[in-house]
Amino acid sequence: MTIDVLKTFSQLRGKLATLNGRYQQAQIALAGNIQSRDKLKEDQTSLFTQQEVLQDAIANMKVLIDRLSLHTVKAIEGFVTQALRTIFYDRDYSFEIRTTDKRNTKYAEFYLKEGDNEFSLHNSLIAGGVLTVIGWLLQIYHLNKLKRSPIIFTDESLTAISAEYRPNFFQWVSKLAEIKGLMIVLVTHDNALMEYADRTYYVNMGVIKEVSQYAVSEAQ
């Protein structure tokens, strides 16, 4: 009887060790899943931000286009196309607006074209940086057309533009601001964008400092 008890106890200890091993494996797998989930959430947040900028731009432009002539629609297409080809210098992008009239209301759909390929701006195959630039261009055109404030605020969405195209983008923006008399204020946590600014300010706990007066490392 005593031998049976010891044998049973030994078997239980073996099962407990096996369960502990499985539990530790499950903990490791769970930690990996949590990390993947957090990364996915960050990517989703970035994508949602880009989509919101683009959707706001499209909504504003549709209101504007409803009151515009074909000549003005072509002007918008030309403005965006010229900017895209300047910024994305190695791509043959063009921008197209297609309008239809239904029940005395004008509807507009937006397309990005390259060669024989064309994509609706709702297509997920278009790179996030390209969508960001198009949305930004449409917003700029809308604000300029309506003679709104010459000070334009933009935010983190511009970080979606890849490092390869950033110099061209900001050079184009600087030239546009000079021609149109605009002031572009970029709010960002990405210090890599500081080199493109004429003036840079660092905000910490409500205190504003001009970074040119301090070491960049302090801003970081």
Specify the pLDDT at position 89.
92
185: alpha, beta or left, given left = phi > 0 and alpha = psi -120 to 50? beta
DSSP string for residues in 150-162: SEEEE-GGGGGS-
Q: Which listed CATH number (3.90.420.10, 3.40.630.10, 3.40.50.300, 3.40.50.720) goes with 2-188?
A: 3.40.50.300
How far is 139 from 133, CA to CA, in rounded Å?
10
Question: Confidence band (pLDDT; 50, 70, 90) for 29?
Answer: confident
Cβ atoms within 10 Å, residue 71: 7
pTM, two decimal places: 0.62
The pLDDT tens digits for 107-139 are: 778 899 998 888 888 766 788 888 889 888 888
- Name the range with the highest mean pLDDT among 16-25, 73-82, 141-150: 73-82
Q: Where are the domains of the chain?
A: 2-188
The answer on pLDDT for 161 being more than 60 is yes
Question: Confidence band (pLDDT; 50, 70, 90) for 177?
Answer: confident
Specify the pLDDT at position 17.
65
Q: What's the token pair of residue 30?
A: 């769970």
Q: Is 10 exposed, middle or buried (0-12, 13-18, 19+ CB in 10 A)?
A: exposed
